[in-house]
Each structure stands twice: as C-alpha cells, then as structure tokens.
Structure 1
Amino acid sequence: MSLHEVNPSIKAFTVVVSILILSVFFDPITPLVTILWSVTVTFLFGRVSFKKWLLLFTPFLFIAVIYVWSTMLFPRLQVGDHIIWEWGILTVTAEGFQRGVSLGLRVLSFATLSIMFTLTTKPTDFLLSLMQQCKLPPKLAYGIMAGYRFLPLIREEFLTLKNAHRVRGVAGARTIPEKIQQLKRYVIPLLAGAIRKAERTALAMESKGFTGAKNRIFYREITVSRIDWIFLLLMISAVILSAFISWKLGYLQFYNGEL
C-alpha cells in the first residue's frame, strides 16, 4: 500500500477525524504514540524525502518548544501543585511541566498528520476527488486549481521585475516611504499580469465548453477502493489505541479548556 494511492478525500477525512479525536484528550502519551505512528506510516508507505519532511516539521517544532517553555515557566498555580524549581517570578511545577509537554506534543501530533497528508497528496488529485466524491462545484474547484497554477508564474514575474529594476539602476529601498513606493512598483504590474492571465484562462475554458455543470464527465476518475477504508480504519484505530495506552499508564486526561 502506498499513501499516494489512497483517495485524497478519504485521506483528508481521516486526518480531520484523527485531529478531532486527539483534541479531546490532553495528556503526553496519547499524542506521543500518535506522532510515532504517523511518522512511521509516512516514511514506510509515503516515499517522502526526509529533508523535505524535516523542513515542514521544523516550524511546528519551534512553536511546540515555545508552548512548552511558556506553560512550564508561567503555570497557573493551584493548591497541591508540586514545585520543582522556583526563582523569582519563575516557578516550575510537576503539573505545569506535564501540561506544557502535553500541549507541545499535541501541536506536533497535529503537524505530523497534516504533513503526512500534504506530502503524499497531489493538489490536482485532491480537487478532482472533492468534485467526484464530495460534489464540490466545478466552478470553485477549477478556479482554485487555476489560482494554484498561477503562483509559480507570479513568482517568476516578480523575479523578472526585480532584475529589470536592478539592471536599470533603481536604488534599493531603505526608508519606509521608499519601501511603500517600491511595493507599488511591484504590485501594480503583477496585478495587471494576473488579470490578463485570468481573462485568457476564462476565455480558454469557455471555448472548450466548460459551463460549470455538476454532471460533467471527467477524463481522470478518482475512485474509492478497499485500501482507502483500510487506511481510514487503521489511522482511527491507532489514535484510539494511543488513548487506551495512555489510560493504561495512568496519564489519560480529557481537555477541559484550561492550561
């Protein structure tokens, strides 16, 4: 089984349901086991580059560390908390440390599931699946697809404008008014080019007979197979099993809206 072959809509539904289940619990073991499971599945069945995965994972790791640090050093003290270390206004309690680690691992569990979906799903296949399985209006889906295709072109045009200004000897902006003026020099040509591309795309789609009708025939059909349901069952079961392991170890807690 390859994650790239799983139906994108089923995969997205699985990730959303897994995150919703994880959001109910607030303990360190449940998200930790889920992280290990999702990372293992990603690299075993996803054919994912570790460097690319690490590049996407690093920002979430930084956010998780900040959450752990702030929650641990500035806890909401309650009667009966066990103080581990105290210096001035900084107080570290065993309960605050556990809450911080739980919050950080929670963020990372959401991140690993989202990264698994992002790196193993083609945007075009996802939109086709949304149209065919989830009945997303073709007008909206093809509009999103066209906008996604325009992003690399806009970046190339921006680099072309930047190099053209450099060749013509335009000085770099230093002050805030100069930066605002420089922004105008970039934004107006880019917007004009985007409008022209949008008009040409609309004319091309209309000339090909695109009306936005929902009962259209697709050249590529995205189907739902037994593998998709097996993937859904395995991922949901793994999240529930992680909560069961946490309960057996005595760490399972439900999220009550307080940190």
Structure 2
Amino acid sequence: MVATSQHQFLYALNPLAKVAGFAPAMVLLIFVRDLATPAAFLVLACAVILVGARLTTRLLLLLLLALPVGMLAIGVGFSVWVDAALVDGSAPVVEVGGWTLYSGALAIGFATALRLGSIIALALVGGLTTSGPDLVRASVQQLRVPYRIGYTALAAFRFVPRFGHELAVIRAAHRVRGHHGGRGPFARLARGWGYVVPLLAGAIRHAERVALAMDSRAFGAHSTRTERHLVPFRTRDTVFVVLCLAASVVIFFVFFPWQLP
C-alpha cells in the first residue's frame, strides 16, 4: 500500500472502507432536492480530503477551483433550462425581453449542482487516495470477487497508460522521420490514421505477452489464488465506516427537510 504519514490517514485505510463509508450517502443524495443537505456533505467531503490526503497543487486546484467552477456552470445552466411555468410564483431575478429568470429556477439549478458536486466530492475521498491494484486486491480478499474477473479487469485497465506511452513513442518516431504534415484538418486526419496501425499492432503484441505471462503462472487454473500483497480490513477501517455513517445520519436528520417536494 502507499506509504503515508500519520496525518494522511486515508492512504492507510482499506479501499472498501472508503467506499462503504459514503456509498449510502451518495445514493440518498440522488433523491435530495434542498440546498443545505448536499452543501453539508460537500463541506464534509472536502474537509476529510484536506485533512487525510496528501496536499498537492493539483489537489488544491481540483477542490478549490475546478469543482466550484464546475458547480457554478452547472447551476447556471440548469437554472436557464428550468421551465418558467413551474417557478413563476417566485421572485424574478433577471429579465431579458420576454424571458425571465426566477429565483425558484436558480434554487432548482443550484440544488442540482450542489447535489452533483457533493456526490463527486464524496467519490474523490476514495478515488484520490486509492490505487487500482489495492482496490482489486481488497475486492478479491474481502468481497470474494473471483480473482479471474478482478485481475483481468486490472490488466485491461493498465492498457490505458501503456497506450499513452506507445502513442508518444510513435509521435516521436514520426517527428524524427520528418513526417510533420500540414496543419489543416485533412493533414491531422492523415496523421491520426498513421498512428492507428502501429498502435493497434503494439496493443496486440502486448496482449499476447500478457496472455502468455498469465498462462505461465497458471492463472485461472484454481478456484483461489494466494496473494503476495494483503489488504486487510482492520479495526480502524471499521471505525472510519461507522464514523462516516454516523456523520451521514446526523446530516440527513439535521439539514434535510423531511417532506416531499
């Protein structure tokens, strides 16, 4: 697992604990229509990430810039598309000719934006601090997911960065040989087709090597398989799940208006 300090506790938790802790809240947030409940979960998720994850410039830009800007764009966009007949009883905010933006439309739009933003932030708690191999190992060891499915999916997932590396190598080879081409759309299309064939050939060769390596290790020959790296579910994982569920219950009972829209 990823080495971490005592102040970055999220990296030391079992990946399934980070999923189970906030999964019920993420499902229930789909049906929430108020502003306070998703806002409270958004604050909670950001606080957990800022306290328990390694603070980098990329992480801060994601939480403090990209996520708010995205929510603002979604809120404004959904507000504009709300049917005015549904909210014409609320106060008008903007009037342009025969079109009026009502405060009720803004409330609906930004409630949707907050709901989506809070779900994304809760997903980032585990997504930013969990590696793909650890998630697969935890699923196989704790959830009893067949290792044939887990490690096959992991092998397929690892094709993506390899494709990126091979594409960079192919582009570099084209530049070395002077295959710059023009700058028009047809030139770009021709360059793209020039990348496809070697990229597919490299993918086929890599798939064959992976298949041979898995066969040589008797992958799939037995119903179970020994694990070199264990991802145990410890007491601290249980405590984290209980605390997350308790916080979710408190937020729903304190902020959520218990009435149908």
> What TM-score, normalized by structure 1, do the two folds share?
0.86
Gaps in structure 2 of 5+ consecutive residues: 1-5
| Larger CA deviation: 199-208 vs 175-184 | 175-184
Residues 31 and 106 in structure 1, CA contact (< 8 A), matched pair in contact too? yes
What is the one-letter code of the residue matched to 2:133?
A: T
Residues 32 and 115 in structure 2, CA contact (< 8 A), matched pair in contact too? no
* Structure-2 residue corresponding to 1:207: 216
Q: For each residue in 1:171-216, what CA deviation from the matched residue of structure 2 results, as whole angstroms up to 9, or x when unmatched?
A: 3354444333322211111111111111112112221222253322
| Larger CA deviation: 142-151 vs 53-62 | 53-62
Instruction: Tell me the distance in 2 between the aligned counterparts of 1:254 and 1:139.
Output: 46
* Structure-2 residue corresponding to 1:143: 152
* Structure-1 residue corresponding to 2:202: 193
- The number of equivalent residue pairs is 252
Q: For each residue in 1:208-232, what CA deviation from the matched residue of structure 2 results, as whole angstroms up to 9, or x when unmatched?
A: 2222533222112222122222222
Q: Among 63, 66, 73, which residue is 1:66 paired with?
A: 73
Gaps in structure 1 of 5+ consecutive residues: none
- Runs of at least 4 residues off by over 4 Å: 56-60, 253-256
Instruction: Tell me the distance in 2 between the aligned counterparts of 1:253 and 1:89.
Output: 37
* Structure-1 residue corresponding to 2:90: 81
Instruction: Tell me the distance in 2 between the aligned counterparts of 1:101 and 1:239.
Output: 21
Instruction: Tell me the distance in 2 between the aligned counterparts of 1:103 and 1:172.
Output: 46
Instruction: Tell me the distance in 2 between the aligned counterparts of 1:246 and 1:135.
Output: 37
Measure how far apart 1:254 and its partner are. Answer: 6.3
Residues 74 and 92 in structure 1, CA contact (< 8 A), matched pair in contact too? no
2:167 is the alignment partner of 1:155: no
Q: Among 38, 44, 52, which residue is 1:45 paired with?
A: 52
Measure how far apart 1:36 and its partner are. Answer: 0.9
Measure how far apart 1:16 and its partner are. Answer: 2.5
* Structure-1 residue corresponding to 2:3: none
Relative contact order higher in (CA < 8 Å, ≥ 6 apart) = 1
Identity among equivalent positions (%) equals 27
* Structure-2 residue corresponding to 1:26: 33
- Name the CA shift for 1:232/1:89 in 2 (closer, same or farther; >3 Å): farther
- Name the CA shift for 1:74/1:190 in 2 (closer, same or farther; >3 Å): closer
- Name the CA shift for 1:114/1:172 in 2 (closer, same or farther; >3 Å): farther
Aligned-residue RMSD, C-alpha: 2.4
Instruction: Tell me the distance in 2 between the aligned counterparts of 1:9 and 1:200.
Output: 31
